[in-house]
Amino acid sequence: MPLAGIALAPLLVSHLAHPHHRRSSVASAAAARRRPRAVQCSATATAASGEGAGDDGELSRGTLLWRAAKLPIYSVALVPLTVGSACAYHHVGSFFGKRYFVLLVASVLVITWLNLSNDVYDSDTGADKNKKESVVNIVGSRTMTQYAANISLLFGFMGLFWAFAQAGDARFILSVTCAIICGYVYQCPPFRLSYRGLGEPLCFAAFGPLATTAFYFSNSSRNISSGTALLPLSKTVIASSILVGLTTTLILFCSHFHQIDGDRAVGKMSPLVRIGTKTGSRLVTLGVVTLYVLLAAFGMSKSLPSACTVLCALTLPVGKWVVDYVLKNHEDNSKIFMAKYYCVRLHALFGMALASGLVLARNGTLV
């Protein structure tokens, strides 16, 4: 059942990146004491321009590969699928295990395409010139990275169309295709809408209302004798998709804090380039507050069962953690780099709580 998939989430929000970050900072401080002042200034300027902020410019290949892989970010593949499947289970009590895991693999492949092609096109514009963990910079080949991205998308689509054949619900393949199109126009020429500051709205639409609802529709069933049993669009899945979209968008928004100088240099007008980190930190606060206000509103309107409200409310300390961290460190590139990973933890834990509440409410454990 969907809880089996939720159990994978802690693996995607591990603290592997954080301890190394602290060790790198200590090593950087020790090395800085042994360097001439001119070299220190040069290193600081380099760090401020990319994701390696706070490091001494000599990251190990293993660390670069870890950052390039962005494994924690793959929670954005797991959470919409698990919440959408939990909504279907809550509504009709059915769960298709094989379909779920095929869709999980397909979703991971699509996110791989998104990450790889993003590195390719940011390389084209020069946005990733000083980003050492860019896959293009690590591999040394734009063509090879683009090829790997396209292969990932192809195999991802194969999995999606297999699930469509099983479900027989055209709304699923239409919605998930629209979500992928959002990813394309976000980064790919000639659109590159992220350079116009439209990345966050596209992210919200793609991973929230489109993807989460699509995975809900993927649980429709095709029967030879009775035809296809289509799931109705319910207020529960709409409410759930909005919450998933909001937590996903927080990840993207916070990933830009330490990239402002580099983005501005190549004309990438992200929201943080336009408004600055101080106002941006306040928007993060507003976003987290909005998340829990919407949760309460959906609970009171019976759009979500009370089990969801109770379990999701338990993630409030994580939400406060994100807010406090961003407010305190929004001007420090060596620390604000970690903000997106804290948002990933909020995203994964909130998604776990939301899906678990839907399952428990269906089983009568909580109503």
- Using the predicted structure, report yes or no on whether residue 7 has a pLDDT greater than 60: no
With tokens 């809880």, the residue in question is: 3
Binning pLDDT at 50, 70 and 90, where does residue 276 land?
Answer: very high
With tokens 């970010």, the residue in question is: 73
Evaluate the omega torsion of the peptide bond into residue 190 and state whether it is cis, within 30 degrees of 0: yes
- What whole-number percentage of the chain has pLDDT above 90? 56
The pLDDT of residue 31 is: 42
The 10s digit of each residue's pLDDT in 172-209 is 999 999 999 999 999 888 898 988 999 999 999 999 99
The mean pLDDT of 256-271, rounded to a whole number, is 87
The 10s digit of each residue's pLDDT in 94-123 is 889 999 999 999 999 999 999 888 888 877
Positive or negative: CA dihedral 234, 237, 239, 242: negative
- Using the predicted structure, report yes or no on whether residue 216 has a pLDDT greater than 60: yes
Domains of the chain: 62-363 (1.10.600)
With tokens 């298709």, the residue in question is: 96
The mean pLDDT of 71-92, rounded to a whole number, is 91
Q: How far apart are the C-alpha atoms of 78 and 90, rounded to whole Å?
A: 18
List alpha helices for 2-74, DSSP H: 2-6, 9-12, 17-33, 37-48, 61-69
Single out the residue of 24, 106, 116 nearest to residue 69, CA to CA.
Answer: 116
The 10s digit of each residue's pLDDT in 297-342 is 999 999 999 999 999 999 999 999 999 999 999 988 889 989 999 9
Binning pLDDT at 50, 70 and 90, where does residue 230 land?
Answer: confident
pTM here is: 0.80
The pLDDT of residue 5 is: 45
The interaxial angle of helices 271-300 and 316-329, nearest 10 deg, is 160
Lowest mean pLDDT among 28-32, 43-47, 77-81: 43-47
List alpha helices for 126-234, DSSP H: 135-139, 142-167, 170-187, 199-205, 211-217
Q: 45 or 336, which is more confident?
A: 336
